[in-house]
Structure 1
Amino acid sequence: MRRGTRPRMGDRATSDVVVRLRTPEGRDEWLYCHSAVLAAGSKYFADRLSDAWPTCQILDSRYCVEVHCAEPDLSSHVTALRLLYADEPVSRFGVRGALALLQAAEHLGCPRIAAACADYIESAPWDEADEEEILAAAPFLAPQHGRLLARLRPIDPAPAAGIFLSAFRHATSAAAPRELKSAAQEQLEYMLTEDDDAPLLAFDDDSVKSQVKDCVTGLLNRFSDFVSSALTKQKEAPCSGGDDGEPQQELHSFISDISWVCQVLSKLEMMKYLVIYWLGASSHVVEVVEAACPGFDCLKTRLKVIEISAKVLEAAAFSNIVLPAEKRCHAVNVWIRFAGRTKALVDQADVGDGDAETPKIGLDGEVWQGLESAIVSIVLTLPSNTQAEILSEWLQSKHACFPDLTEAFDTWCYRSKVARTRLSFLNNINEAP
């Protein structure tokens, strides 16, 4: 070899060592190398080629060093050996290629190559397959490469709460672009979803819930202003209801946002605030919706209102939210009528659509069932005379098919018939001297 000329792997004329890569499957790779290059870049070869290590002289007095590796790792070991001869320790092999090379470099004790691979992997974008490969390899990597997992580690509570609140403000803001608002709503819902993994956040901090409540208050206040303005315009020009598409779109936007907030508050166990607001505003909400969506127009908006009302009434019926009888009575009266009209419109739309390939407009059956169960439960909490008034109106309605109050009717009949007997002790108390 001429002075100043860099040796090349595979040059049999100048090589003084053969590296034999062997796999359990019996595959061999013979590489003609140079002991000085190997020892300088690899601790493994430095040890094997030292005077203290017994060697086997074969092939015209050249040293032979065996390296055992798994079949899938053979090519990355070859690459690691080639890079010992390169000016730059590593080229860009893609994340998974660099990861395989990193593992080979660690096996051969090549710190320069391993560090270059780790630097590249740490700075490169990953897809999901890359992440799975990195997680699988992580337990076998040297401790100094733990930084590769930095972007995959669980986030600390403080920044997690910060990003949640920032996203929640966008999700409930009137000024946020629709794309940003939709993305924020989607990701926040995912963060709170209980699936195979635990929810991303645990809301033990009252200050976080307080800020969530402030955002919801702002949304509901804007909605109240919209409802008041719409009702005022309706009184001034009653014949124009439903003709202008802009109020319909604004109404649908508000209802969609409140529907999403309803889901989030349910997961945060903060439904009480929305229940009190929604039941108090029920009459005005229904009046605005009926004016803006008189028939089949904006049926999706009506169904969103049904979704909200179902969750609100379920919370009122089955949770620890205590409401006066007058509010419970008013709420079920309003939503029995609206639910009956909306269900009839949905059934008519499904029957009238002759195209079997067109998706039908409707809700999951569990929503209707949940609404019906909540209404029945609330009706049965009311005084018997109030129940009689509600049931009488329901029986006379042309929409008596939904909600089905038969269970409430049966219970009312039984209670009414046995009332005198069951409460006879009251007569004895009244007749006592």
Structure 2
Amino acid sequence: MHEAAVDQSLGTKNVLTSALHFAISVETLNNPPEFANELKNSAQEQVEFMLAEDQEARLLISDEEVRSVVKSRISDVLSTFLDRLSSLLLPETDLVSGFSEDNVLQTLSDIEWLCKVLPRMELMKDLVSKWADISGKILAVAENCKFDSRLWGVKMKLAEVTGKVLEAVGYGTVVLPSRSRVCLLKTWLPFMRRLKTMLESEGSQSGFRMDEDLCECIEGSMVSLVLTLPSDDQTEVLGEWMRGIELDQVKFPDLSEAFEVWCYRTKSAKRRLLERCDRLATLNPAL
């Protein structure tokens, strides 16, 4: 009975690790695209089902071998994404087969899927930390003047994935040091503002738009994220946000709520400081 239980648990573990391997696979260029995509989609569905319905699979989330597989795949998929995105800057004659806008979108879709399942495995921090580390490199490509009127699909998917990253940090699913939170905000806020502005100016020609749900997700996450920062960092971020409004006449993302809370806290802090100074002066008239 005990051996049967062990065998069953081992079998579940093997199925889960195999499914995870293919669900986050980046070695698709050696297989026919249709077969590779079908295998990946099936594996992703299997992982989602096991994490939601299979009690043994949920218990295996803490298994070090399983977690090691996932962490390794997270690093692989982010590295592949950055390589494929950067390759778009090459002259078209130098582009390698498979390193196209479609491949960048596919890798972003894989990252978006990870954002769905990693919180169930308590591994979202691994993705968020690495995304924060490479954000500057991502935007160096995405905001290249070569792509001002191109890559709308990639830019939209970047906004969606980053929205999930900001949501995880803003609402406390993932805890990062304040410096990392500030960098996330200062890196992505201008991109979100510029993307929305450009999409609105392009009108129906681009075929893309930032819908209300996405805008609310980004704004709500950024407001929550600002309010988790130390006061000096809040001042810096909100100051840059207001300067952006003056320059671009675009309020999105709307951080008014965070600004109001910051004003209230600042006034309260000053009032408490003055009250304390008054008490000290009363107790020590010579001061």
TM (norm. structure 1) is 0.52
Question: Could you tell me which of 297, 300, 307 is aligned with 2:150?
Answer: 297
In the alignment, does 2:17 pair up with 1:165?
yes
User: Which structure carries more strand by proportion?
Assistant: 1
Q: CA deviation at 1:308?
A: 1.3
Alignment partner, residue 277 of structure 1: 130
Percent identity between matched residues is 30
The aligned runs of 1:181-330 (5 Å cut-off) are 181-193=36-48, 198-200=52-54, 202-205=57-60, 206=63, 207-225=65-83, 230=87, 246-291=99-144, 294-330=147-183
Counterpart check, 1:344 vs 2:197: yes
- Measure how far apart 1:400 and its partner are: 3.0
**How far has the Cα of 1:428 moved from its partner?**
7.1
Match of 2:238 among 391, 401, 420: 391
Structure 1 contact 170–180 (Cα < 8 Å) conserved: no
Q: Is residue 23–residue 44 contact of structure 2 (8 Å, CA) maintained in 1?
A: no
Query: What SS does the aligned partner of 1:375 have?
Result: helix
1:36 maps to none
Larger radius of gyration: 1
Counterpart amino acid of 1:172? I
Q: CA deviation at 1:427?
A: 4.1
CA deviation string 1:197-245 (max 9, x = no partner):
9524633221222212222222223345556x65xx96xx8xx69x979
CA deviation map 1:362-419 (0-9, x unaligned): 4553332122111111112223333233222222321633111111111122222232
Residues 208 and 271 of structure 1: CA distance in aligned 2, closer, same or farther (over 3 Å): same
Question: What secondary structure, in the 3-state scheme, does the structure 1 residue paired with 2:144 have?
Answer: helix
As a proportion of its length, which structure holds more helix?
2
Q: CA deviation at 1:294?
A: 2.3
AA in 2 matched with 1:408: A
Q: What's the offset of the Cα at 1:331?
A: 0.7
Between the aligned partners of 2:249 and 2:58, the Cα distance in structure 1 is: 43
Q: Is the 8 A contact 2:23 2:41 kept in 1?
A: no
Instruction: Determine the C-alpha separation between the residues in 2 that align with 1:218 and 1:282.
Output: 16
5+ unaligned residues in a row in structure 2: which ranges?
1-7
Secondary structure at the aligned position of 1:204 is classed as helix
Provide the secondary structure at the position in 2 that maps to 1:321: coil
Q: What is the CA RMSD across the aligned residues, in angstroms?
A: 3.4
Q: Residue 146 of structure 1 corresponds to which residue in structure 2?
A: none
Counterpart contact for 2:21–2:69, Cα < 8 Å: no
Q: How far 1:425 sits from its partner (Å)?
A: 6.4
Uncovered stretches (5+) of structure 1, i.e. residues with no partner: 1-155, 355-359
Query: In the alignment, is residue 400 of structure 1 matched against residue 250 of structure 2?
Result: yes
The question of 1:409 aligning with 2:263 is answered: no
String of CA shifts for 1:70-109, please: whole Å, max 9, x gaps.
Answer: xxxxxxxxxxxxxxxxxxxxxxxxxxxxxxxxxxxxxxxx
CA shift, 1:329, in A, is 0.9
**Using the alignment, how far apart are the partners of 1:369 and 1:288 within structure 2?**
26
Of 381, 390, 405 in structure 1, the residue corresponding to residue 228 of structure 2 is: 381
* Deviations, residues 136-194 of structure 1 (Å, cap 9, x unaligned): xxxxxxxxxxxxxxxxxxxx554343233223323333322333443244334433557
Distance 2:205 2:147 in 1: 19
Higher relative contact order (CA 8 A, sep 6+): 2
Q: 1:190/1:247 Cα in 2 relative to 1: closer, same or farther (>3 Å)?
A: closer
